[in-house]
């Protein structure tokens, strides 16, 4: 199975909003609502930010939101802050009853 | 407090075997799936496989099927990832993680660095 497609990098200034896309196919992102997003700072383990496409775990800032349209999921970060600078990975359940990650997006706060 | 604590860094030679561990505390180990994720140096996350400790039901990514073995010991709340013959390309950080809400990985171990070099 191929990795989900994410932009390699995105950047924005503090206070801005930006969106990271995650494109799959009908047998993964397009076929299930089990899309999750993870944030990873250098040298740390990933942290769950969004699950089921749109839900935030307890403790995750309201500035993070998720959505999905067809086979593309999106993570939107509003009111960008310096601490948001990190790598972001999407993940989806697949028809084969496995999971697949996206290639990852490096977010830079200018 | 829910914790997944992984075994320490390993340095091995090609062809050697290895078993790394992920010890769980703070919840009922048996009834949550535990997964393993690979991160090669400077690269992204790769889903390797997952195990249900209650009955050791296991699913592997096609990319890792036959390359590694995932197991669990309920009596000591520990999951394992093992190789029978390591290759240099197995050099990576390996994370264990609990699958919970929305079938997402909500709690992660700190990672185990595995270096395979002659």
Q: For B79-98, what is each residue's pLDDT tens digit?
A: 999 999 999 999 999 999 99
Residues in chain A closer than 8 A to B47 (CB atoms): 91, 98-101
Q: Which of A1, A36, A48 sits opposite B62 (nearest CB)?
A: A1
Q: Which of B59, B97, B109 sits opposite A97 (nearest CB)?
A: B59
Q: What is the pLDDT of residue B64?
A: 97
The low-confidence residues of chain A, meaning pLDDT below 70, are 1
Residue A4 DSSP one-character state: B
Q: Please state, in angstroms and rounded to a whole number, the distance separating the CA atoms of residues A69 and A23.
A: 10
When pLDDT is cut at 50, 70 and 90, the band that residue B44 belongs to is: very high
> Is A48's Cβ below 8 Å from some Cβ in B?
yes
Q: Please state, in angstroms and rounded to a whole number, the distance separating the CA atoms of residues A27 and A1.
A: 10
**In whole numbers, what is the pLDDT of chain A averaged over residues?**
96
3-class secondary-structure state, position B100: coil
Q: Torsion angle of alpha carbons B45, B48, B52, B58, nearest 10°?
A: 160
Q: Evaluate whether B27 touches B19 at the Cβ level (below 8 Å).
A: no
Predicted confidence (pLDDT) per residue in A93-102, tens digit: 999 889 999 9
């Amino acid at each position: 199975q191929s990795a989900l497609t994410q932009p390699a990098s995105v950047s924005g200034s503090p206070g801005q909003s930006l969106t990271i896309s995650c494109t799959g196919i009908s047998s993964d992102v397009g076929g299930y609502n089990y899309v999750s997003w993870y944030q990873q700072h250098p040298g740390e383990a990933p942290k769950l930010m969004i699950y089921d496409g749109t839900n935030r775990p307890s403790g995750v800032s309201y500035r993070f939101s998720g959505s999905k349209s067809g086979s593309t999921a999106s993570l939107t970060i509003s009111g960008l802050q310096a601490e948001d600078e990190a790598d972001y990975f999407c993940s989806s359940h697949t028809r084969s009853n496995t999971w697949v990650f996206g290639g990852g997006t490096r977010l830079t706060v200018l | 407090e829910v914790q997944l604590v992984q075994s320490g860094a390993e340095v091995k030679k090609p062809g050697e075997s290895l078993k790394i561990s992920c010890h769980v505390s703070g919840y009922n180990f048996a009834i949550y799936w535990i997964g393993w994720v690979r991160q090669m140096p400077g690269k992204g996350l790769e889903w390797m496989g997952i195990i249900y400790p209650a009955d050791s039901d296991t699913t592997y990514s096609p990319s890792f099927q036959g390359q590694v073995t995932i197991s669990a010991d309920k009596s000591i709340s520990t999951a394992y990832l093992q190789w029978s013959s390591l290759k240099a390309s197995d050099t990576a950080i390996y994370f264990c993680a609990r699958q919970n809400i929305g079938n997402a990985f909500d709690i992660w171990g700190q990672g185990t660095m595995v270096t395979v070099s002659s």
